[in-house]
Structure 1
Amino acid sequence: MAMNDGMSGPGSNSLKGITFLLVDRNEALLRSFQETLASYGAAVYSVCDISKVKDVFKEVKVDVFLADMEATGQETSALIRSFRDSNPGGSFFLLIDRVTYKDALSLIGPEADDYFFKPLDPDRFAQTIETALGQSRPKSNSLAVIEPYVEQLKPYLIFRSPEMKQVLMNLPRIAASNQTVLISGETGTGKEIVARAIHVLSRRAEGNFVAVNCGAIPDSLMEGELFGHEKGAFTGAHKTHRGKFELADNGTLLLDEIGDMPLSLQVKLLRVLEEGVIYRLGGERPTAVNVRILAATRIDLIK
């Protein structure tokens, strides 16, 4: 994460009192995670065999569960349900790759809290959890929840109205996730500014923030703008053009006024979200992209 108050990191005991359970077939990886999380003060349990998970549930209350989806396979949903029953209020995260990505998407939200792509750096995981848990602990309506990030947010937000303060208090929690976010509000209320703030607070902060106004691009040009095109794809395509998805790889893409996007293109967008790949116009080979999508709209999409 880009956020740091100077007190986090190994030796800080910032995760003291937090119990982790890790499931992975790779014993060396488990040892690495155990050592790192323990250096943050956490209690860490790990198993290679998912049949041992319930034994851990009987012994301790687990706050954070990280499971490699390759190890859990078809038992993933049942494992999450068992975790929820035994550890109410705990957080469940999936460790995935391009192969398990599509299956993982169906579990995020309804069952699992979020996912991480392999390879996952143990320190980065610890810092991400540190941030997410740290922001969930304050129960009051105080702005203390965003105090560590005020300096980062100053260029983006004006701290005045009660409504904006409520938005502010939710930003660190939202930023810690990989999930798609819809930001709604009337024209001029600062939807893009909120999107930029989410990016700044996220673990993608070092990547690009790319904004596209779907209402300002003609329908005939929007696909090429988003996905790019190959040389010779159409008359005047004299060279290969990288689209917004490629420019936002490992970063954040804001689809502003997404309600103006043609339905035919929304279908292709869904495919990108499910498979994590794009096809340039005139291209036959997929290009893998790792992009977090934020969407904004001035209209009520449900209606």
Structure 2
Amino acid sequence: MISGAESELLLYGLLIGLFAGALGGTLAGLAGVGGGLVYVPLFYALLPAQQGQGMALHIFASFVAIIITGFFSARSHWRLGHIDRQTLSQLLPGLIIGAIIGLWSTLRLPEAAVLLGLAALDAWIAFDYGRTIPPDADRRPSLRLFSGPIGLASGALGIGGGTMLVPLLRRHLILRHAVGTSAACGFVMALTAVTANLLAEPDWHELMISQWPQLLGIWLGIALILPRCSHWSARLHQVSGEQNLRLALKILFFLLSACLLLAATIALLHT
């Protein structure tokens, strides 16, 4: 039986999940990210962690949410024909191995380092979306070479990898295919990394047990609202010009970077 206190925590988590799912689903469809750039800051602000847990709880919660986000976003892009299967197969091995190691490392990373890493990635993506990069298969960077480091950073920061994958894929795919392929990569990567960490690392079990009502509510809220948001935003690629989308994404990521930099500064002052 669920106690009264646990019911309240479950409801609180549900409200967080509905809000996070609406933002994360929209961002996933538009930018191909798994939502972690929204989830980690929101969970950090609204989901209290116990002393000594650092960012591990928030990152794990984000990675599970990315599984939900990535599934619905990738499904929408798959139906619209936005996923390049050959590129997907080249990226996944390195992404999976890197993400497993990266997620495990969050049990030991200080929160300021995670927040600074997220802020830096947001700043980079804002800069990159401001540039026009025509697809050029003859000059594209190696997908296999970059997939491992991208997976490692994704696992350590609790993101779906789209912040780094989309700029990479834009070098040889049009934007909608880069976004769709990135969404599919994030789903498979997050699912595999979470499963492997739960099987191999007992410390994750203690974190889940200590916060299970709120976590369950969050994931349920995201699952309820996200399908509609991700499908709607994925369809924007069909009706919106690429130039307008890039401008909107540039502004969005710049604002996210500024907010995360402020949070990192506050965390450093409190240490």
TM-score > 0.5 by shorter chain: no
Structure with the larger helix share: 2
TM category (shorter chain) comes to under 0.3
- Structure number with greater Rg is 1
| Greater RCO (CA < 8 Å, at least 6 residues apart) | 2
